[in-house]
Structure 1
Amino acid sequence: MKLLHVDSSALGTHSVTRELGRALVESWTRNNPGTEVIYHDLAAQPLPHWAPVADASDPAARAGNAMLDEFLAADVVVIGAPMYNFSIPSTLKAWIDRVAVAGRTFRYGANGPEGLAGGKRVIIVSARGGIYSEGPAEAMDFQEDYLRKVFGFLGVTDIEVVRAEGVNLSPESKQRAVAAAHEAIAGGCRLAA
């Protein structure tokens, strides 16, 4: 089994999604011995933003092709996705632009778009400073909704979210949110293959 783990937070050791993603991958590998893990830190090694490249030997084209191949080969994809300004980090968007490739992960047919990257599981590790899953700010969630839709467009139907929400409201709120997410990882999150 292959697990692709992608982190995108720029907060380093202060990142909630990095902490939770690491805990999730550790729990997954304990429950699924022999899992091969591939890891990318998009903040430490950002991909250039997508642009048409005519030369396949161009370093950006090679990096994009490698990311696409890893995504296609993965059985499970764990994505550390903090909410930045109601959306995702631009580094994560640059990675998505490398894996959302016509003819490889989706195609357009007579009945519209068809996802080609099904049969894998995507677990989104989400952190948000405020509360966006309900209430007045729910309409400003362009993070989780976007990720669900883009991976759904690629044919992925097994999508799960582990969320820590309200982490910037107070130290107590952060502690509760992170503890609840760790609890979901330890008990409620489906970690078996």
Structure 2
Amino acid sequence: MDIAEADGRLLDAAESLFYEHGVQAVGMDRIRAASGVSLKRLYQRFPSKEVLVEAYLRRRDERWRGALAAYVAACPSVAARPLAVFDWLEEWFGEPDFRGCAFINAYGELGTGSPAVAEAVRDHKAEVLRYLTGLVRAAGVPEPGPVAEQLAVLADGAITTAAVTGAPGAARRAREAAAVLLEAAAA
């Protein structure tokens, strides 16, 4: 097994187990068993659990934002794309393995006790905000920054609410609030 395959198997196992059970509930031996990669190779590639968690979050960030961007780009109306974010969230919330925001979950478990994980979480949130700012700007809002920040708060709130309640409709409520914000900002 080459390095790329080992890394892929380890990160796939880490993502599945950490997202479903939580970071602290999953030990390195469980990841080794789920991945089929030797413990020696696991520690060669990821010398600590913190390094593995950070790598898992960074990879998840790329995939999560990529899926969101692909969905939103398919929306024919540039003006409606900021709202399409919430449509995508509602679909995600309805998936059987939805467990909330992996980044908020990891931060909640590890907090500032893990600077590398905290930085990965902050980087993810900053990239999402940058993306939302671009969508709001393209939709014609003269000052997109504050509106994008409000949309980010609505999105995180919807994600957390859906995870806690199991109700995908939180995305619809957030979408309704986002529509009011966008309308007011464009006026």
Give TM-score scaled by structure 2 length.
Answer: 0.30
Give TM-score scaled by structure 1 length.
Answer: 0.30
Q: Give the structure with the higher percent strand.
A: 1
Q: Give the structure with the higher percent helix.
A: 2
